[in-house]
Homo-oligomer: A and B are copies of this chain.
Amino acid sequence: MILDFKRADDGLDKAARNTRIEAMRAELVGQQQTIRDARLPVVVLLEGWDCAGKGNLIRELICEMDPRFFKVASFGRTPEYEERYPFLKKFFDVLPETGKFLFMDTGWMEDTVGKYLRREISREEYERRIESCNTLERQLRDNGYVLVKLFLHISREEQLRRITDLRENRDTQWRVSGDDLWQQQEYNQFMRTYDEFMEATSQTAPWHVLDGESRKKALFDGLAAITGTVRQAIALGRYEGKPTGRQFPLRGGPSLADCDLSATIDPDKYKKKLAQLQRRLSELHNQIYRKKIPVVICFEGWDAAGKGGNIRRLAYPLDPRGFDVIPIASPTPGEKARHFLWRFWTKLPRSGHIAIFDRTWYGRVMVERIEGFCSENDWKRAYGEINEFEKELTDWGTVVLKFWINIDPDTQLERFEARQNTPGKEWKITDEDWRNRDKWPQYAEAIEEMLQKTSTEYAPWYIIESVDKKYARIRTLQIVTDALEKAVQENVVRGIKSAPAEKKEK
């Protein structure tokens, strides 16, 4: 057991310990500068028992640091509106950029163990979450994050003493919650489960158990763990993970080569079908809103393939209060300085809402790959990371649909020229579009690889024939309505079970 540790005497007297604490604090202050130069983001995760003194420890850790280069994020009981997102989202939300420290006052451990022992999630969901936590930690490490995990440990007797003290003082009694009392009562079960969780999540970064019964010793060991890990990370340089071998249930992605671009639809039939599908989609939007099913629809495609018009036909019947179209451009500096999926995690739809992404995270394995905006390791690793990301979404009950809007080079040329010659549309065609066009073969290769490696059973790719844009719109609408229909019928939504009922929104 990790937690069953003997309190050892490190042989330091008070003065010697204080001297070394001051020295490590000074080192930590200096590391704020060196991690900037080394482009390292550092996440310090502090978990531990209720009333163990986590807040106080963080206060002592940060007290000499420059507030421009660190943040503290506190996760207590998850607020209701956060329960409407996959549970990892709130941790992605606070990820620091390169060169910054983040101190987390509890995180994915308490969120998982606490919810499980308070009977808010099932054993099955608990085990799935452990795997998600491992995925998160590995993804952070592979993307250059330095992760320090601390657990502040106190005994059952000590916890009881502290609870009693807090309750005896009028100014502090509010600090003791029912959750704290529950943990005190169920201490042994928490102990076993904390331990189990820590053993199950020790692959990527080790847990450092701190002795919460001595403030100074906890501070000393906490500082040692942080400065030591950071020192080593600086010496080694920014880590860049290799692609992992984890397998996903692929369904043999579709191929551009198999796409019959001659498909068309009769204009009259189009009109009728469009109205019918839009009416149906409008009804379904009502139902997925009531059943709190989140929906993510991804649009990728060649320039001028007709993405915009397709999206507008899809969006038109939707209630504007229940969906967002999210246009994705090149990442801002703040986005580039974080995990490449950060800007997508932070834009996920709430349960019952629809997010339509106009371009997506697949930019990583297309434009970023081809233009060299990321390293080969980065884009090769991204297939797996994207599959994991989409797995988190679908495990939580999200319907994920991915469309590649397809045309051939001749059609693109026609449309580019038409745009250039149409007043009011010239701005839509840029030099970059022409440059991308020259790279058609490289893109085609990247797209084929993407389709093969990321068309999973839970989040399949659809190639949409869009030489006839009308045909493309009908086909997209049909796939979306079918998928939503199925989701509404099945309504087996795993993660959402535990989400609280939504209050009526107007």
Contacts and interface: CB of A to CB of B under 8 A. Distances in A.
A409 interface: no
A77 B427 contact: no
Contacts of A174: 290, 504
Nearest to A56: B319
Nearest to A62: B320
A125 interface: no
Interface in A54-83: 55, 58-59, 62-64, 66-68, 71-72, 74, 76-77, 79-81
Interface string A285-315: 0110010000000000000000010011001
A269 interface: no
Interface of A: 30, 33, 50, 55, 58-59, 62-64, 66-68, 71-72, 74, 76-77, 79-81, 103, 105-106, 171-172, 174-175, 177, 179-180, 283, 286-287, 290, 308, 311-312, 315-321, 324-327, 329, 332, 334, 356, 358, 424, 427, 503-506
A308 B506 contact: no
The 4 closest A-B pairs by CB, nearest first: A67-B325, A76-B506, A68-B327, A76-B505
A473 B475 CA distance: 68
Q: Chain A: interface secondary structure?
A: mixed
Contact of A311 (B30, B67, B505): B67
A297 B191 CA distance: 41
A428 to B, nearest CB: 9
A356 B311 CA distance: 44
Q: Which of A50, A80, A175, A311 has the most CB of B within 10 A?
A: A175
5 contacts: A62-B320, A67-B327, A72-B321, A77-B505, A103-B320
A72 B287 contact: no
Nearest to A63: B316
A81 B83 CA distance: 14
A64 B506 CA distance: 24
B312 A64 contact: yes
A59 B320 contact: yes
A430 to B, nearest CB: 14
